[in-house]
Structure formats: structure tokens, C-alpha cells
Amino acid sequence: MGPTDQSEALHRRARAFIEASLLAGGAAPPGEGRAAAILPPHLPRAAQGERAALPEAFDELAVALARHQAAQCAPVARLFKARGADAAAMERADQIPAVPCDVFRFARVASHPPEADERVFRTSGTSLGAASRGEHPFRTTATYELAALSWGERLLWPDGARLRVIVLAPPLDEVPDSSLGFMIDRFAARLSGPASWHVRGGELDAGGFARACAEARAAGEPAIVLGTSFAFVHLLEAALPGGATLLPPASRVMQTGGYKGRSREVPADELRAAISRSLGVPPAHIVGEYGMTELSSQLYEGTLAAALGWPGSTAPGLYLAPPWTRVTAVDPETLAPLPAGEIGLARIVDLANVDSAVAIQTADRVRVTGEGVELLGRASGAPPRGCSIAIDQMLGGGGP
């Protein structure tokens, strides 16, 4: 079996795991918290007293992905060699060396050649300049789409509501390499109702946004507003025409990213309260999203699911990972896992990352418990020592 056939077989296994874990309704691997228990009533569930069987163990699939990546991706192979990690002998996901996010800026992290790319997602480059944008190549986006849509539905529209889509982000045709733009585009297609985008050419269209809200109110149809926290801050700083932007009942908001406005930083709780006041959406209906270009899966706050009465949800500020991912806090120096509740850097194993790196090491500070993942911001200054060493190892000893 050639590399492409191997990749396709692994994608099928990953998608089978995702689908089965959703049907399991709580049959997530041990230590994954409560997220898998949130199964909306309009989605199929295993019969009473039963649990849908997972096709294989989380660790088994994670190790299979790691072996494929180490065999087909030179930077991953160098990291394994430098760490003395024998892919053939691995049995657990926590044995897989994690690839730091910064590596995606300096090396191609892919198990397939560039000519096989279906799509390449790129980081924004806002902090280090466009020349330092990270790239995440995809041979196929089928597994990414399944993961994004499945968890988005679970945490953003678990009630199966028919929603209008109002977007505070550029449309995909303007940003074809944006993973957020791609995800929102797929959300709009899945929800299949009226959809509008209100950031074009780098400019916020506050008037168009207000009109879209008014149209939703006139139709009596709830809406989902999807956007970056940055765009929400600018919206709230704008003089909205007529000041009438209240959304219909049952509307909800997804926000993602940082909280900087034109001239100030806006604390997350302050922004949530301001969005609630301006749009007429209950605070619990405002859901934070955590994702990154280097991953294929996303985490969400469980606030909306909790408000709608589904079990297993969490308080604001705690994010739920899908059952096909594992988030662990690790020591910044050694990258060794820390006990539950201790603060460390987020290491994420994502089974939907089939053709790049199944284990990703971030510089985001987190506290992980059985209730969820608490985000505490990025580590300040230079890359943490553990990440810096790993970057050097992947680049063959000649770090950036």
C-alpha cells in the first residue's frame, strides 16, 4: 500500500472514530471529561442501556497516525529520532513527541507532496508579519469538515434550530487560506438558511450587520452570529445605524480570538457582557471557540448547551474538547504532563490531524480538569524552552 492509500485508509479510520464517538453519547476515552455526554435529542443515540462501540481505542489510532507521519514527513521523523522515540514500539498517545506550532512557520509539516494539496490553511501572520505565516497543508479536507461540523453542531446548535447566519469575518473567497473562514463557510452551508458576511476588504460593514439583524427580527427567525472577538470589539465601538440590533429569541453568538480593540484591550467577561447588551442575547448564549490553524478540531465553551439543558456542560470560561482530541497541560521546560488542575502549556492530540502532526504542542497556558479546559493566555516572551528545543530538533539542529 502506497503513502496515499495509507493516508486514505487512516482518514477513513479517523472519520469512523469521530462518528462512533458522537453516537456513543458518553463513551469517550477515560479522562476526556464530560464533553462526549452532550448528545442533543435530535441526533441519533445508542439504545437505552447501550453504548455505541468505538471502532478502536483512541491510543491505537493516535499511534497509527504517528507512525504514518514519522515515515512520510521528514521534520516529524527528525523529532522522533532526536527524542529517541521508536514509532514501532509506541502504544500510547502520550508517547508521541508533540510538534510545536511554530514549526509550521519554518517547515512543511505534511505526509504528502505539495502537488497533492487540496487546500493549505495559513496563520494570520499578524504578530510576526506575513512572511512568517504558518502553513497547514491538507491532502483532503473531508475529515476536517466532519470534525468541525460535528462538534460545532454539538455546542452551537444542539437544539437543531433553523438559524440565519450572520458573519463578522471575511467571506471564504476573500480569505481562501483561512481555516476559520473555511469552517464558517461549512457552518453556513450546513445550516442552509439565509447567510451574510459583514467584513469585506478589511472593513467592517456595521450598517449591513444591523440590517441583517433587523431582517432576522422581521422574519422571527433566530440567528447565529459568528465572528472574531476583534470584530465584535470594533462593532461595539461603531455607531450602529439606529442602534436597533437586537436579535430574535433563541439567537446565539460564537466568538473566537483575541480581545483588542482600536486602542485598548477588552477583558473577555467585559466583551461578553457588552455583546449581550448590544445584541439582546443572554450571556449563556455567547460561546467562545478555541481553534488554531495547526489543528483540525476545535474546542467550545459549554455555556449554550448548559442553558438548553443538555448534560455534561460547563461554566463560562471552560472549554470542551471533542472526544477525538486530548488536551494535556505540560511543563514548559520538560514538556512532561502535569497533574490535573495544574497550570501548564496545552499539548493537544487531534485524531483529525491525519496528514500533518497528530500531537501538537502549543504555547497556550491552560488548566485541565475533568470539567474542561481553562484558557489562561499565551506564554509571554520567547517560545518556552521545551518548545524551543523541539523546534531546533525538527529543523535538524539549525533552529530559526
Distance, in Å, from the CA atom of 150 to the CA atom of 37, rounded to the nearest integer, reads: 14
Query: 109 CB contacts (<8 Å, ≥6 apart)?
Result: 73, 75, 76, 99, 103, 136, 137, 356, 357
CB 164 within 8 A of CB 212: yes
Q: Is the pTM of this model over 0.85?
A: yes
C-alpha radius of gyration, the chain, whole number: 21
CB 227 within 8 A of CB 169: yes
**Looking at residue 186, what is its pLDDT?**
97
Question: Minimal CA–CA distance to 352: which of 321, 329, 373?
Answer: 321
**Looking at residue 381, what is its pLDDT?**
64
**Looking at residue 316, what is its pLDDT?**
83
**Looking at residue 130, what is its pLDDT?**
53
**Looking at residue 31, what is its pLDDT?**
34
| Residue 209, helix vs strand vs coil | helix
**Looking at residue 309, what is its pLDDT?**
83
Distance, in Å, from the CA atom of 136 to the CA atom of 109, rounded to the nearest integer, reads: 7
**Looking at residue 124, what is its pLDDT?**
78
Residues of the chain with CATH 3.40.50: 144-314
**Looking at residue 327, what is its pLDDT?**
97
CB 334 within 8 A of CB 341: no
**Looking at residue 15, what is its pLDDT?**
97
Distance, in Å, from the CA atom of 199 to the CA atom of 365, rounded to the nearest integer, reads: 30
- Tell me the residue type at 198: H
**Looking at residue 384, what is its pLDDT?**
65
- Give the chain's residues under pLDDT 50: 26-50, 261-262, 398-400
Question: Minimal CA–CA distance to 67: which of 391, 386, 397, 357?
Answer: 357
**Looking at residue 223, what is its pLDDT?**
98
Domain 144-314: top CATH class: alpha beta
